[in-house]
Structure 1
Amino acid sequence: MRAGLGVVGMAVLAWACTGGPESLPPPTIVGIEPATLPVNAKDEALTVRFDARYSVAVDYGAEKVDARMGSGRIWVDEKEAAVTHFDPAGLAIVTVPRGLGAGAHAVRLRLDDGREAVAEEGLTLRPPGQGVVDPPISEDAGVLILTDAGPIYGDFDGGVDTSDGGETVDAGPGPDDPMREGDITAFAFDAIEGTRMSRTSFAITVRAQGPRAGHFKGSVELYASRGTVTPTKIGPCDNGVCSASIVMDAPAGNVHLNAKDSFGAAGESNTFRLEPYK
């Protein structure tokens, strides 16, 4: 029987024949989200989905069914993860332990009755910077003027034609020059993976795009598609990269974030799941 009371007869047979929960099959981990994270990412949430069968006891005189489900604990290698939500029907949300090194790590689930499941190499932690792709630059950083080197007669170069644009050309504004409208054309979010908890902080990264993306050191306003996000403004950004820890407060469901600068350049994150705080 899956978690719950859906097939009481099957569970009663299991309890009556075996005499205890130790004879039930072990649980099975069926999914881990996200499967890959940066090393030592702060307050990252990990969603572990599992299948489990439970014992039930029946009082025929009182016509009552007692489902013995309980809760559980999660480890990543030998480090126990803090459980923020546990549904014995098959969902656990935990905070990834700090101090784990780069590479593949085993994820272990233990139910209250002692039964365990292990997903070998269930979580991979990547070194800082690995797997991060710089956003494309949509425009040239400056104006390049091609100049004619002069006519060529046979194998002889005729020199520079004094009527062409052979002068030195400015390569464009530098990193300390003020930002102007059009220097930043959009913002891109790094993927927000897995399920997040309402009223629980998690990290985001927003990247400027445009001809002067690498010069952007300003702030970005944040908006939530549902509910609220705190803080509502992040920055100053570092060479076009804006990283911060945020907290969202909204009912359970799918959400996304939007970012916008003072000139109106904007961007939208991917859609992700938000669960209520418990």
Structure 2
Amino acid sequence: MRRHSLIALLIGAFAATGVAAQEPDTAAAGDAAAAYTVGRCIVQSNRPAAARLMQALPIGGDGAGPEAMRIMGEVGCGAESLRSDQALMLRGGLAQALFQADFEHFGVEPRNPRAMIDLGLPAETDPASDGNRDLYRWSDCVVRNDTENVQRLLRTPVASRQEAQVLGALVPYMHACARPMARLVVDASELRSLFVQSSYQAMYRYWSGALREANAVTESRGDQIVCRRNPETASRVNHTRICLSRNEWIKLENGTRDGMLEFLRRATQGVGR
């Protein structure tokens, strides 16, 4: 599967109005649609198998291993017809079906808290790691800062023009959350999977109490000042060094779009480039 640096992705395929006009690749669209259909079927017909499969499938762009392929061959729903390199798309299909089954919308209580599944994905506030985990740190940041557009993404047909339009609307936060951009490599067809998985994991972390526990760990050092080099969110704050307390960074990273912009406006008042 062809992969691109995030810089090229944002500046090229998803720049300006190009997203709305971009025709989905026919083969990739068919692969994605098939994987999401299979994922929905598995969750609806055999949720325990869906949980096992999510644990077996790699979180990155690597192909499905022997255990995942074995489960895919046994679970039905057409999973046996998927290729190993469709693993990340299948993870997206499973996560999207789980999100719709357990929550349906952001900000609502889970229908059955005991049924929630920990996908084991990193959050944006976790330490930097390898490329795959850093991609999920990045997607977690995008999801939690623009839940409105991510919710729209979940409602669009897979690999459709509507999907591309919503991904275009997410570009500002793709830029803002990429730190550093040069290390992030992603295929355009995998973006939906990343955002869908991070959506489910963010809801799981909140309703399971994991997010509150993580915040509590840093509460004792919450007044410590941390400075970061701000990415290009707008020309006025381009390449600005921003210093906030740890608690303020937590609020920024867990907050909404308005909260993010408010923090950036306040942090950059009177600060030069």
Q: TM-score range by the shorter chain?
A: under 0.3
TM-score, L = length of structure 2: 0.19
Structure 1 or 2, whichever has the larger Rg, is 1
Between Structure 1 and Structure 2, the one with more helix by share is 2
When the two structures are superposed, what TM-score results if normalisation uses the length of structure 1? Answer: 0.19
Specify which structure has the higher proportion of strand: 1
